[in-house]
Structure 1
Amino acid sequence: MLHRTQHLLHNTIANWQDWHFGPEEIRAPPTLIRRLTAGLTNESFLVGNQDFQAVVRVNGHNGLSLGIDRQREKMLLGALNSLSCIPTLYYSDSNTLVTEYVDGRHPLKEDFADGMIQNQFRNALAAIQEIEVGHLETRCYVDYIQLYSDQLSNFDDLSIIEAAAQEIDNAHWTPVIAHHDLIPANIILNSSGVFFIDWEYSHLGHPLIDYLALFGAEACSKKADKRLLSALITLNFGIVKLWHAVQDKTFKT
């Protein structure tokens, strides 16, 4: 464990009385149980005691270069905190985030074709997209692409990705809370239903961004015209490529 990670994890656990548990009564400080993941951006740890368990996420040091706004994430998680598909937020600052621990598994390829799970996905997205958030500007996808491209040189297909982002920004649509990173690693399934975790790339965005991630282009074909749908697909793939390029550059410098 890196010194920075160890230091932040220790301090966050030591300040457990600053966490907001709501009606739960926590009588003893948590201790580290085990490391959960060492992701490409962050590291997560399971902590707890006999009363409860929680996840402490230690944020990566390069969040700004990846377009992550921790205050925005905290605000949106607060807005979504009443939904059953979102782990309860206990604590957040610029370096760490503490949420309810949700036990379960990540979906497999065949789960995305399961009718019951598809309905859970739809219901969760519908509930999320019904939540209104004031005082937050809609994501400008052109600016978002530029944030990545400004850190790179000679990136292939940049003009195609920029054109797709411009197409989406110029179209008429109603912004909703969008996760923007609904990969299997950010989805948990258990007997209670579906949970979406790791909201650090969330923003007010296009309502089909998350639907595309979960259901694919064919399932979204009746929700948008072909030109806009093509732009959304291009944007999704483009953001992933740009993200990896910036992440690789960050680790090499």
Structure 2
Amino acid sequence: MDEPERGPMPFLLLLPNLVTLAGMCLGMTSMRYTMIGSYETAAMLLVLSALIDGMDGLIARRLRATSEFGAELDSLSDFICFGVAPGLLVYQFALGEGNALGWIFVLVYAAGCCMRLARFNVMRGEDGAGKTHFTGVPAPAGAMLAVLPVYLHLAGLLDVRAAPMLVALWLALVGVLMISRLPTFSPKAMRVPRWGVGAMLIGTAIGVGLIFTRIWLFLALADVVYFVALIPGIIRMRFRILG
């Protein structure tokens, strides 16, 4: 029996998937710039990819265009942008070509990101999963943490190339945090005390100023603040992997 003819699909239903593919292209292009040694461009493309990653799901929900296809496409794109591209950037920038031991830690990070995304896909269909919190560091946040050594170097704060094994260990730690049972927060679940409102407003003003004057310093500080926020959970948690 012939398949029923399908009519044309409205463009708005395709828009979230097009945004996802745009983010994937940014991640792939980041790898290209890494290979030719344009590390600042490669790092910035990863940041843009992370920003776009937060847009496709929002657009899909607003347009009521969510689908299983879009969810799987987003997961595959995330692995390229936040699993492969950051590992390659850190390896080329801070570990150096021919560093076989460093490459092993890159593989640990990439494997952690891959398993994190697979776990999220499984949890997506469970009742109540992922509505108020994540388990393990999310892939985009993990990618930004992984690239922290690059940010510190570009900001002129540390010469990370002088300590390649410390960078490799940091990369492996981020990979472990992505597949751990670490409870991390969702913006929807955040509660800000009254005394913290003024501090957040001042911090926002400082952050905006740094974005337009010292972008690498801003990204490094944002990573440090995020990691510090994870420390209480790291102290309390039991390192159960994917359990």
TM-score bracket relative to the smaller structure: under 0.3
Greater share of residues in strand: 1
Greater share of residues in helix: 2
Query: TM-score w.r.t. structure 1 length?
Result: 0.23
Query: TM-score w.r.t. structure 2 length?
Result: 0.24
